[in-house]
Structure 1
Amino acid sequence: MDEFYEKLSTDSTYVINILNTDCPYLDIPFHFHPETEIMYMEKGSGTRFVGDHSEAFAEGDIGLIGPNLPHVWKSDSVYRENIPGLTAHVQVVHFHDAVLKGPLAVLPEMKAINQLLFESQYGIKFFGSARENLEMMMKEMVKASGIDKLLQLIKMLDFMSKTEERQMLASTGYSKIMKSADFDRFDKAHRFMIDNFQTNIKLETVSSMVGMTPTSFCRYFKKRTKKSFHTVLNEIRVGHACKLLSEGKMNISGVGIASGFNNISNFNEQFKKIKGITPSHYIKTRQ
């Protein structure tokens, strides 16, 4: 999955820009930009990639993405089949966080928002009743204009900063990599893992691809992500498995194979290690 810098086509006369659009499916590249982003998936489903994190998303998904953090929401393959009425509807807010700095930043009332913006460098998703409240607030922002739009943004960020129903996405190591000179090497390995996790990826293949021995690559990878190569690979695979299990179109064994695990025993073991429950229990929580 290639990653690239995106220069947004925004109106420079405003500090907040909103994109409200319908499209057949989402298929933009893995990208980053200096603006902070609030992404609201009003309609659609697929897989969300934020830094080194991947996870299935569904209708109502809301995320806060900090400046220069690679990310993409990709629609499920069914959206490419031109089924009548099956489209993606997204609302995206872009803003420069500089508007919330300067004199505003030192106010006591801004302390929680400042912390939220710091956490956004890893990407944040919202769930539960917080997500439902943010859906309504997002719709209000889309309708607002002028100073009301800015006030609505501050209101949303204040709510985000106070809710406990939020989760950071990318690992702390990934954010640091974005600032390092060897990001290209790491990104090449990570892209290969995302694009090929359903196959039997060999450590030797990935390490050779970036010009390192397997031992050196393992040390390099863990130093930057705080996780082993195989842990991150299994997290990507389990994230995909969760999406397939939620769809309910395949049995557990088939889901394991389709997600890159070579046998059902290994799939069950890794799934429980990462999610805390077995695949069969996960299915019950989704019914």
Structure 2
Amino acid sequence: MNVLEFTIPVAHDQSVIVQEDAMPYFYPYLHRHNEAQLIWILEGEGTLIAGTDIHTFNSNDIFLLGANQPHLFKSNPDYFSAESNKQIRSVMVFFNPYGNLAPLFQLPEMVSLLAFIRQHSGGFKLPATYVTAVSQLILAIQTATDAERITRFIELLTNLYQFNSKFTPLSAAALTQVSENEGIRISNIYNYVMHNLDKAITLDDIAHKANLTPPAFCRYFKKHTGSTFITFLNQLRVNEACKKLTSGKDEAVAMIAYGCGFNSITNFNRIFKDVTGVSPREYLNHYKGNY
């Protein structure tokens, strides 16, 4: 995966950095940074791309993103409307276990926590059961100062370590280093696709957006993402369909299928099952059974 390098605003007197954002929508480019990032989404909905994998995010979700892991929190299309009064709010904890904190993690007592961080270099989503406890620890770090902040940070990691068996990686994709221009080009492709999921997207269209011929685009996309463009497009469309199926609006399955860019119900059902392992109806029944 090739991505835009991004340097967070670093407080030189802090090894654990807490940042709170309130904006119309999330930062719109695929990027990565040296720091691992624990993010608590207080308000906002959309699609998370982590490595080469696609996930849905909602208010009160908590994710860990590994150091140098490519990611993009893409707010839903309605956040970009000129008439929108929506906003996103999040609190993030940034830390670099191989930077200023390296001496801390070299202590014998920290071996298990460093192993935990390395184990989850592909990131994870925190199960809902633990959100209340972890969000309180994030707030404690945010209000702490000096040495107390490190103490609270270790307490946070210790709690996450205790929940370890419940986590599923967000992504296992390998990472490569690329130029800023390449990262922006990939981001622009992703942005175009996510803003036009409800429309027919031809290979000619997307290749033109990338200033490539269709054969060259196919090679480029596969090389830089590890996935074919059609696979990526289908995953995004199915992810959008899953969000609509579980939105509580009781839209007809056919309307959801066409609204996510599928040209027939048969095609939608086949691709949905290929991506999720179940039919749209089975997916919805399973979701309702958990609530």
TM-score (norm 1): 0.79
Q: Deviations over 1:102-152 (max 9, x none)?
A: 4633637424534524643x4432224344432232233223322222122
- Equivalent residue, structure 2, for 1:211: 212
Alignment of 1:128-167 (within 5 A): 128-162=128-162, 163-167=164-168
- Alignment partner of 2:262: what SS? coil
Alignment of 1:74-93 (within 5 A): 74-76=74-76, 88-93=88-93
Q: Deviations over 1:66-107 (max 9, x none)?
A: 344443434445666566xx7543211122332332463363
* Contact kept in structure 1, 2:51 and 2:173, CA below 8 Å: no
What is the number of residues matched between the two proteins?
277
1:42 offset after TM fit, Å?
2.4
1:22 offset after TM fit, Å?
4.6
- Alignment partner of 1:99: what SS? coil
1:251 offset after TM fit, Å?
1.7
- Alignment partner of 1:151: what SS? helix
Alignment of 1:221-236 (within 5 A): 221-236=221-236
- C-alpha RMSD of matched pairs (Å): 3.2
- Alignment partner of 1:286: what SS? helix
1:143 and 1:169 map into 2 onto residues whose CA distance is 29
Measured at CA, do residues 36 and 128 of structure 1 come closer, stay the same or move farther in structure 2, by a change above 3 Å?
A: same
- Alignment partner of 1:197: what SS? coil
Measured at CA, do residues 77 and 253 of structure 1 come closer, stay the same or move farther in structure 2, by a change above 3 Å?
A: same
- Alignment partner of 1:253: what SS? helix
Alignment of 1:1-287 (within 5 A): 4-23=4-23, 25-30=24-29, 31-76=31-76, 88-97=88-97, 98-102=99-103, 104-105=105-106, 107=108, 109-117=110-118, 119-120=120-121, 122-162=122-162, 163-170=164-171, 172-173=173-174, 175-176=175-176, 179-180=177-178, 183-184=182-183, 186-187=186-187, 189-207=189-207, 209-214=210-215, 217-249=217-249, 250-287=251-288
Measured at CA, do residues 118 and 221 of structure 1 come closer, stay the same or move farther in structure 2, by a change above 3 Å?
A: farther
- Alignment partner of 2:156: what SS? helix
* Contact kept in structure 2, 1:62 and 1:125, CA below 8 Å: yes
Q: Deviations over 1:21-44 (max 9, x none)?
A: 555x43432244333221101233
* Contact kept in structure 2, 1:53 and 1:236, CA below 8 Å: no
2:21 and 2:10 map into 1 onto residues whose CA distance is 15
Q: Bigger shift: 31-40 or 103-112?
A: 103-112
- Alignment partner of 1:94: what SS? strand
Q: Bigger shift: 148-157 or 45-54?
A: 45-54
Measured at CA, do residues 145 and 155 of structure 1 come closer, stay the same or move farther in structure 2, by a change above 3 Å?
A: same
* Contact kept in structure 2, 1:130 and 1:165, CA below 8 Å: no
| Matching residue's letter, 2:279 | T
2:100 and 2:169 map into 1 onto residues whose CA distance is 23
2:268 and 2:161 map into 1 onto residues whose CA distance is 36
Q: Deviations over 1:178-200 (max 9, x none)?
A: x1469446555444433433322
1:155 and 1:226 map into 2 onto residues whose CA distance is 37
2:211 and 2:123 map into 1 onto residues whose CA distance is 27
Which residues of structure 2 form unaligned runs of 5+?
Answer: none
1:280 and 1:10 map into 2 onto residues whose CA distance is 47
* Contact kept in structure 2, 1:113 and 1:157, CA below 8 Å: no
Identity %: 24
Q: Deviations over 1:199-223 (max 9, x none)?
A: 2222344346453552x65455445
* Contact kept in structure 1, 2:113 and 2:157, CA below 8 Å: no
